[in-house]
Amino acid sequence: MSTLTTRSQDYSQWYNDLILKGGLADYSSVRGCMVIKPYGYALWENMRDVLDRMFKSTGHQNAYFPLFVPKSLFEAEEKNAEGFAKECAVVTHYRLKADPEQKGKLIVDPAARLEEELVVRPTSEAIIWNTYKGWIQSYRDLPLLINQWANVVRWEMRTRLFLRTAEFLWQEGHTAHATKEEALSETLQMLDVYAQFAEEYMALPVVKGIKTANERFAGAEDTYCIEALMQDGKALQAGTSHFLGQNFAKAFDVKFAAKDNTMEYVWATSWGVSTRLIGALVMAHSDDQGLVLPPKIAPLQVVIVPIFSKDAEARQKIDETAEQLTRSLRGKGITVKYDNDDTSRPGWKFAEHELRGVPVRIALGARDIEQNQAEVARRDTREKMTLSLEGIADAIHQLLDEIQHNLYNRALQFRDAHTTAVDSWEDFVQVLETKAGFISAHWDGTPETEERIKELTKATIRCIPLNNAAEEGHCVLSGKPSRQRVLFARAY
């Protein structure tokens, strides 16, 4: 196993090393697109399954809409179109043919040009609202609460594994409501679902907030978000929930007959999280030995490594104990693997499972079994302990809970220690350069000042926290009056 770059050597390279060597993803030969490897996909499946249950238990159903958006639909909601036009993959032809000049090669058949170009969906509001037009006639058709699991494409210039890829996997909820209040309450409900998922399952503390106009989703009236802090002090937007007002209903002429028989435009929300969350997970918890995964979503929670001696009888005893332990752990709903591969040594296996972030490792040797005990190592703190085999399954179950909580608390402490209230421009710049993290500062509320701060420091307003206290003050750059602090940070 090759060595990993450490965080202090090169944070960015450390991240790539973990993704590649930890077996989460690989580069592909398509510009900006990645291959999600089995281990990374298993992690995504676990995240998806939890989210899917949360969506269904809040009344949503899944559906599937076309990958392609005809250009004329794409451009219907002007702001949305303008926001995504610069990064659209466009299908213009529907056939290849043999290259007459090079045997065995193909060229695009110029005779097979589409009458209307198709945009590969960067997001599905346009195609979905064009469909909803046919589904919504009266208030009895509302609310319409639909989610889609899908791939989307945004032709980003600079890409990073998981964090920003040209194609990514995500879910996008698209709901339709009879009233503004109901749509707003849905927007906030889904923000809460995302926050709960991030904190309970990913062990990732997040700030719930609202975006400024500059950072708003193209076509939304308001964008709500959850923002998390990474170990290098940069922020990461982990999920967004948009109140779309009646913008899409107007663009696609979706009206409903209200109870009083008047025709009204429908109110909309949309909300999404993506495979980007895996990047957040890696950067929030992992260390210089490799991935650290929260037990609740880890593809593998426990690995048992035998310490074989040459004694066949001892070996058999280890196998038996391991199999018994595997059964009793599985009986508690714990995923476990007995890594009895003969071709590698225990030390190599230890390092490999640390690299892959398996939360708990149990080593079983002949002497351990004689003493009715096992050596247990937790991945989060790398502590080792000796546990009695009596009742060990219960102890492991508790340990997994403890690891889950410890990861959350550690990340929360880190975030608290890296959230700094700042009242002068000098401090703002200094904190950003020396300590990074979230900076809580007054802002005069203008897009111009926000833009200027971004130009000067690369820091953006991550959000106006929802639980913000009212506080009189002066903008950290312009000195103009301000009524609340907002959260700044450099961000992924």
CA dist., res. 240 & res. 247, Å (int): 18
Which stretch, 80-88, 351-359, 427-435, 470-478, contacts a copy of itself (CB under 8 A)? 80-88
What binding mask, one character per residue, do residues 227-266 give for a copy of itself by CB under 8 A, x or -? ----------------------------------------
Which region holds residue 467: left if phi is over 0, alpha if psi is between -120 and 50, else beta? alpha
Choosing from 14, 41, 217, 414, the residue that interacts with a copy of itself (CB under 8 A) is: 41
Nearest to 368, CA basis, from 318, 418, 328: 318
Q: Read out DSSP for 242-288?
A: EEEETHHHHHTT-EEE-TTS-EEEPEEEEEEEETHHHHHHHHHH-BT
Nearest to 37, CA basis, from 52, 51, 21, 50: 21
Choosing from 10, 26, 320, 401, the residue that interacts with a copy of itself (CB under 8 A) is: 26
Q: What are phi and psi of 75, to 5 degrees?
A: -85, 0
Task: Give, to the nearest 10 degrees, the angle between helix 276-285 and helix 392-417.
Answer: 90
Choosing from 2, 3, 8, 29, the residue that interacts with a copy of itself (CB under 8 A) is: 29
Q: Is residue 343 near a copy of itself by the rule CB under 8 A? A: yes
CA dist., res. 413 & res. 119, Å (int): 44
Q: Is residue 88 near a copy of itself by the rule CB under 8 A? A: yes
Taking the complex as a whole, the smallest distance from the CB of residue 14 to a copy of itself amounts, in Å, to 22
Taking the complex as a whole, the smallest distance from the CB of residue 397 to a copy of itself amounts, in Å, to 24
Q: Is residue 370 near a copy of itself by the rule CB under 8 A? A: no
Taking the complex as a whole, the smallest distance from the CB of residue 299 to a copy of itself amounts, in Å, to 10
Nearest to 450, CA basis, from 280, 114, 211: 211
- Cis omega (within 30 of 0) for bond into 294: no
Taking the complex as a whole, the smallest distance from the CB of residue 459 to a copy of itself amounts, in Å, to 28
Choosing from 85, 387, 395, 412, the residue that interacts with a copy of itself (CB under 8 A) is: 85
Which stretch, 88-96, 322-330, 359-367, 455-463, contacts a copy of itself (CB under 8 A)? 88-96
Choosing from 43, 118, 283, 304, the residue that interacts with a copy of itself (CB under 8 A) is: 118
Which stretch, 127-135, 216-224, 301-309, 365-373, contacts a copy of itself (CB under 8 A)? 127-135
| Beta strand pairing call for 460-465 and 438-442 | unpaired
Taking the complex as a whole, the smallest distance from the CB of residue 278 to a copy of itself amounts, in Å, to 12
Taking the complex as a whole, the smallest distance from the CB of residue 189 to a copy of itself amounts, in Å, to 19
CA dist., res. 439 & res. 229, Å (int): 11
Nearest to 251, CA basis, from 211, 223, 220: 220
Are the CB atoms for 317 and 374 separated by under 8 Å? no
What binding mask, one character per residue, do residues 50-79 give for a copy of itself by CB under 8 A, x or -? -----------xxxxxxxxxxx-xxx--x-
- Note the Cα 343 to chain centre separation in Å: 36
Taking the complex as a whole, the smallest distance from the CB of residue 316 to a copy of itself amounts, in Å, to 26
Q: Is residue 106 near a copy of itself by the rule CB under 8 A? A: yes
Residue 418 CB partners (closer than 8 Å, separation 6+): 229, 233, 435, 436, 437, 438
Taking the complex as a whole, the smallest distance from the CB of residue 344 to a copy of itself amounts, in Å, to 10
Site for a copy of itself in 131-170 (CB under 8 A): 131, 134-135, 140, 146, 150-151, 153, 155, 167, 169
Name the residue nearer to a copy of itself (CB basis): 42 or 461.
42
Q: What are phi and psi of 417, to 5 degrees?
A: -70, -20
Q: Compute the Cα dihedral for 152, 155, 157, 161 and give only its sign.
A: positive
Q: What are phi and psi of 89, to 5 degrees?
A: -80, 130
Size of the site for a copy of itself (CB under 8 A): 67
Choosing from 43, 47, 54, 127, the residue that interacts with a copy of itself (CB under 8 A) is: 127
Are the CB atoms for 369 and 319 separated by under 8 Å? no
Q: CB-based burial of residue 253 (10 Å sphere; 0-12 exposed, 13-18 middle, 19+ buried)? A: exposed
Distances (CA, A) of 403 to 50, 187, 267, 331, 348: 19, 32, 42, 20, 23
In the numeric block, which tokens belong to residue 384? Answer: 């080792």
Name the residue nearer to a copy of itself (CB basis): 146 or 477.
146
Which stretch, 27-35, 300-308, 385-393, 423-431, contacts a copy of itself (CB under 8 A)? 27-35
Which stretch, 40-48, 219-227, 447-455, 475-483, contacts a copy of itself (CB under 8 A)? 40-48
Name the residue nearer to a copy of itself (CB basis): 176 or 407.
176
Name the residue nearer to a copy of itself (CB basis): 277 or 489.
277
Choosing from 9, 10, 12, 97, the residue that interacts with a copy of itself (CB under 8 A) is: 97
Site for a copy of itself in 165-194 (CB under 8 A): 167, 169
**By the criterion CB under 8 A, which residues form the site for a copy of itself?**
26, 28-30, 33-38, 41-42, 44-45, 61-71, 73-75, 78, 81-82, 85-98, 104-106, 108, 117-120, 127, 130-131, 134-135, 140, 146, 150-151, 153, 155, 167, 169, 343
